[in-house]
Amino acid sequence: MKIVILSTNNNLYSTKRLVEAGVAKGHQVEVVDHLKCNLITEKQHPHISYMGRSLDDADAVIPRIGASVTFYGSAVIRQFEMRDIFTAVQSQALMRSRDKLRSLQILARAGLGVPKSVFTNYGRDVNEVIKAVGGVPLVVKLLEGTQGLGVVLAENRKAAASVIEAFNGLKARIIVQEFIAEANGTDLRVLVVDGKVVGAMKRQAPEGEFRSNLHRGGSASIVTLSPEEEETAIRAANAMGLGVAGVDLLQSNRGPLIIEVNSSPGLEGIETATGRDIASKIIEYLEQGANNHGNNHTVEH
């Protein structure tokens, strides 16, 4: 079948691995820069133009949409959906996952553990916010932050008040969360594909840092999940409507707490840590999804 990978950089590890895995399984794979797509919408004939030609003959799509271009990326995915072409990540699920507040609301409603969080409309009663998350230390997160950027640990009340007031003064939307001290600067990244865990790693923050993101210098190692952690990751991906998801968990005294569900999880760290061919699992999900989707195209294996 013909697979389109939406990515602005075909040299990225994740993009290259997905191309390799698709070609190895006998598929035609093309990397398309979604920012260069033109979306033509007309009655009964919505289509996608790329570099002067149509992409309507695609059988399936793997979106790799960066956080900074979520709006346009989701519009491109939606156009493929209008053409009844299967996509590994649906446009609405992408939008949900990129909204930290909405994600927390969805996960909490599904009965899943999340850190206690407070969101206000630039509330002036900072002490009330600090009290609501159980006091200091606490974590302040920008709603639009990614890869650990826009995340601040405030270790005392004065620092917490200063940070919250500064963000409010800038009219920056933030979430204030409790700090899970017992996690000791580690979290779990769990890759879920089609409702199954296909890989998991423990990420350790470097000394003097509480953010464990690999982009921030953290290290990764393979980990065996507890049944509760595995179930939490799968339920989180399902609640967000994601067929492919990177679920980030904190190990707390009251069980696993979800800090984020990523709709475009990187493959380099987890494939390196686990030694597993996760790219091929995503291609297999795509094959099954395209077949079940009832495309009119001929699907070859």
Q: Which residues contact 265 (CB under 8 A, 6 or more apart)?
A: 189, 191, 244, 245, 246
Instruction: Tell me what pLDDT residue 151 has.
Output: 86
Mind listing the pLDDT tens digit for each residue in 267-289?
999 999 999 999 999 999 999 99
Mind listing the pLDDT tens digit for each residue in 169-185?
999 899 999 999 999 88
CATH of domain 117-179: 3.30.1490.20
Residue 301 has pLDDT above 60, yes or no: no
Instruction: Tell me what pLDDT residue 150 has.
Output: 80
Residue 228 has pLDDT above 50, yes or no: yes
Spell out the domain ranges in the chain. Answer: 2-89+281-293, 117-179, 182-263
Mind listing the pLDDT tens digit for each residue in 185-205?
899 999 999 999 999 999 987
pLDDT band at residue 211 under the 50/70/90 scheme = low
Tell me what percent of the residues of the chain surpass a pLDDT of 70.
Answer: 92
Please tell me which residue, 175 or 300, carries the higher pLDDT value: 175
CATH of domain 2-89+281-293: 3.40.50.20
As a whole number, the mean pLDDT across the chain is 91
Q: What is the distance in angstroms between the CA of the first residue and the CA of the last residue of the chain? A: 7
Tell me what percent of the residues of the chain surpass a pLDDT of 90.
Answer: 78
Please tell me which residue, 293 or 85, carries the higher pLDDT value: 85
Does this chain's domain 2-89+281-293 share its CATH topology with 117-179?
Answer: no
pTM of the model: 0.90
Alpha carbon distance 119, 111 (integer Å): 19
Fold (CATH) for 182-263:
D-amino Acid Aminotransferase; Chain A, domain 1 (3.30.470)
CA 63 to chain centre: 11
CA 153 to chain centre: 22
Q: In which region does residue 241 sit, left (phi positive, over 0), alpha (psi from -120 to 50) or beta (all else)?
A: left
